[in-house]
Amino acid sequence: MVRQRKVPLRKCVVTQEMKPKQSLIRIVRNKDGEVSVDLTGKMNGRGAYVSRDLQTILKAEKSNVLARHLNTEIDSSVYEELKQLVDSDE
């Protein structure tokens, strides 16, 4: 009998939906306070997940939800990188 592998789920900080980790983008703040987009999902630091969806990213930028989750200022370049990632996916 083949056991189904458990799919790791994470919650999008904007929509509050539980989704498979692969369908989300992780944003991470390291101990130096630098915020970056974590494509590997393995970087050290405090992480927050956002859906791979342009509307969700725009909503995150507008509501400042990432700044609250990571307890730091989020540079606009991080949001630009997220938008480019989503554009390249579609």
In a 10 Å sphere around its CB, with 0-12 CB exposed, 13-18 middle and 19+ buried, how is residue 40 labelled?
Answer: exposed
When pLDDT is averaged across residues 27-40 and rounded to a whole number, the result is 94
When pLDDT is averaged across residues 23-33 and rounded to a whole number, the result is 94
Dump pLDDT digits (tens) for 39-66: 998 999 999 999 999 999 999 999 999 9
C-alpha span between 46 and 52 (Å, rounded): 19
29 has a pLDDT exceeding 80: yes
Q: pTM for the whole thing?
A: 0.88
18, amino acid identity = M
What domains can you pick out in the chain, each with its CATH number? 9-89 (3.30.1230.10)
Residue 22 CB: number of other CB atoms within 10 A?
A: 10
59: enclosing H helix or E strand: helix 54-63
